[in-house]
Structure 1
Amino acid sequence: MRPRVLACTACHGKEGRATPGGYFPRIAGKPAGYLYNQLLNFRDGRRSYPQMSRLLEHLTDDYLREIAGYFSALDLPYVSAAPVPASRALIERGRQLVRHGDEGRKIPACVQCHGDAMTGVAPFVPGLLGLSREYVGSQLGAWQTGQRRAQAPDCMAEIARQLTVEDVGAVSAWLAAQAVPGQGKPAMSFKGELTMPCGSVRPPHASAPATGRGAR
């Protein structure tokens, strides 16, 4: 597969480790189900990025699954987290939202779905560490505006729409400032029950919304 994915690494960096500025995110070592879902989303129009859509428009589901499996199997070190210029208050607000959410505003903690270590949950939920502040912020903004969508029920879009501009800045700053533990390996199961159905944590085209411990 290596010579066949050169088009991917041209943007996502050597072996899919991400570009130095972080605009193109790391794909190496991400859960295979997550990568496959995102390839489908770009190809089928749920995510808006013309270069990706054109690259994938003629590829079959099986080929996309092979690409996802290739990058998921890569076990490569992460670079150290760069200093994030942000106030202590902003960083602390980000930590609170990531670790505890905001119950009064019906915002669940990020760790509920993305794992206590924030390295994701196999096979469908990605880790949120090792990404740049700009990339995380831009993706939350894309969820808010509908430029990024997932299979229904679209839980991330619902959550993102509850976030203020300040919340997005705080979460992005805190996540970008954290070191990646354990080589970024995803957890193998959710720690507790999920509080909302989410189409992203079930196989594509599955008929029932996924909730709880079986939603992997």
Structure 2
Amino acid sequence: MKRLIAGVVLGVGLTALAHGAGDPAAGEQNAVVCAGCHGQGGGKPIMAVYPKLSGLGEKYLYNQLVNIKSGDRPVPEMTGMLSAMSDQDLQNLAAYFNSQSMVVSQANPDLVERGQALYRGGNMASGVPACAGCHNPKGIGNEPAGYPALGGQTADYLVKQLKAYRAGERATGSNASIMMDVASKLTDAEIEAVASYVSGLN
């Protein structure tokens, strides 16, 4: 009987972990300080090079917060911001921001056709896979795999991150090697086009 109870408790615990262990209400309290850069609810950053955090995916957000806190992903603007937060605090923050709606940006009409072609079909000639394969055709990501939702993200932030992956400056996280490989095959023009397209993807 004890084994059965232990098994049920373990099963319930693993299920909760698989579906996110954060409390959005608790996360909202700690998110107040984040609004200074990322905007209320994480959806309207004060600068386009800062990311929108709303609706990115709880697993992805949590992993990034852990990497930033540990210093594995250096973000100078966030130095010390997470130092006093526990692992549960980070889970709660991730749950809160994931519960918020993404505010979609406006894509540059001149870049939509090329950006859409890259996002949906990649570039066979240079070996670039379709972004939609991991991040979903609608840009909503893949939560179980930890692939973030991209639709609506600011183009400037996406350009900055793709170039950081290409230069090997962003090399932490379970999916970093995939992104470094993809970005290494993208030209500046392709990065600008796909980032613009994604910013308006809804």
What's the TM-score bracket when you normalise by the shorter of the two chains?
A: 0.7 to 0.9
Q: CA deviation at 1:167?
A: 1.2
Higher helix share: 2
Q: Secondary structure at the match of 1:122?
A: coil
Check conservation: 2:37, 2:47, Cα contact below 8 A: no
Question: TM-score, normalized by length of structure 2?
Answer: 0.76
From 62, 70, 78, the counterpart of 1:36: 62
Gaps of 5+ in 2: 1-25
RMSD (Å), alpha carbons: 2.1
Give the fraction of aligned pairs with identical amino acids, expressed as a percent. Answer: 31
Of 119, 125, 128, the residue aligned with 2:140 is: 119
**Matched residue, 2:167:** 145
How far residue 22 of structure 1 moved from its aligned partner, in angstroms, is 3.0
Cα deviation, 1:10-33, whole Å, max 9, x if unaligned, reads 211012112264332221222110
Q: TM-score, normalised by structure 1?
A: 0.72
* Equivalence for 2:79: 53
SS of equivalent to 1:104: coil
1:153-192 equivalence runs, <5 A: 154-178=177-201, 180=202
Give the aligned partner of residue 117 of structure 2: 96
Equivalent position amino acid for 2:103 in 1: Y
Q: 1:23-73 CA distances to partner (integer Å, 9 max, x unpaired)?
A: 322212221101001101212233221222321234333321121122222
Does the CA-based 8 Å contact 1:42-1:48 persist in structure 2?
A: yes
Question: 1:52/1:20 Cα in 2 relative to 1: closer, same or farther (>3 Å)?
Answer: closer
Instruction: State how far apart, in whole Å, the 2-side matches of 1:7 and 1:20 are.
Output: 13
Correspondence 1:73 to 2:102:
no
With over 3 angstroms needed to count, the CA separation of the structure-2 counterparts of 1:177 and 1:65, relative to structure 1, is: closer
- Unaligned 5+ residue runs, structure 1? 181-216
2:39 is matched with which residue? 13
